[in-house]
Chain A
Amino acid sequence: MAKLIMDVGHAPFGHENAYAGFFVTMGWVSIGNQGFVLLRGEGVHAARKGQGDTMMEIGLPQTEKLVNDIIGEGARVIAEKEALRARNITPEMLIQGVEIMSSSELDAVVLEHGERVLTL
């Protein structure tokens, strides 16, 4: 099974990159491949649960739904522990199924599974 790592460092809503990362990952896993989304830096905001009706409110897709969809398709979504801590985002505030790893553990994921790595 071919592998793709999507390394997202931008927050959703204010920037297009997080959406690009999720959409591409969805396309990737939907054809039977293995996908990983690493949320680092501001990217961890995409993993917060309880997002409002963002399409209605600000005309942008809800990343909570995108995260749920790609986890449902078998992708792994992993948030960087240090970035969460810096932003006072606790594990309870994350969408169910989102994993938490330290920066060094994420590096290990990249080294083990990084056949294809896209940085957004």
Chain B
Amino acid sequence: MVNQQKTLGVMIISPPFGNQYADHMCRTISRALDKGYRVEIFLYGDSVHAQMNAQRPKTFYPVGKVLKELIDRGAVVYSCEICSIARGYISGELKDGKKDYSSTKVIEGVQFTTIFGFAEMLNRADKVVCFGGS
């Protein structure tokens, strides 16, 4: 019998540090990876601030550092392209339509996508969790 790997889809809409939704998300994803889930994350709205590189919170949970660790462990992190443009994370133009921007403000491994890319991500998910509705 083949052990089919399940996919967990995660959407977050709250920014890091102002509340703990991003912290809870990171911990949940870490445990899901431990349990063998394939994990895909969509950063939407103000939650795209979690993708900023060189975050240095002195006392808060290090969301950026943990997000990079989750990417290194296999989590796929998508970020809303429109939200990222609005908040200044993307500079320059798309390179040859490869979804590759000349931005230097984002943690390595974060991929930009659209709402339609998120809809496809939801389609692939066996379970969906949303963090930060407020």
Interface residues of A (CB under 8 A from B): 2, 4, 7, 9, 16-17, 20, 23-24, 26-28, 30-31, 33, 116-120
Contacts and interface: CB of A to CB of B under 8 A. Distances in A.
Contacts of A116: 9, 122, 125, 128
Contact of A2 (B115, B123, B133): B123
B120 interface: yes
Contacts of A23: 115
Interface of B: 9, 11, 13, 44-46, 114-116, 118-120, 122-123, 125, 128, 130, 133
Contacts of A20: 13, 44-45
List the 6 closest A-B pairs by CB distance, nearest first: A27-B115, A27-B119, A116-B128, A119-B133, A118-B130, A28-B119
Nearest to B131: A119
A17 B119 CA distance: 17
A83 B82 CA distance: 32
A16 B45 CA distance: 8
B119 A119 contact: no
B128 to A, nearest CB: 4
B115 A9 contact: no
A27 B44 CA distance: 14
B115 A118 contact: no
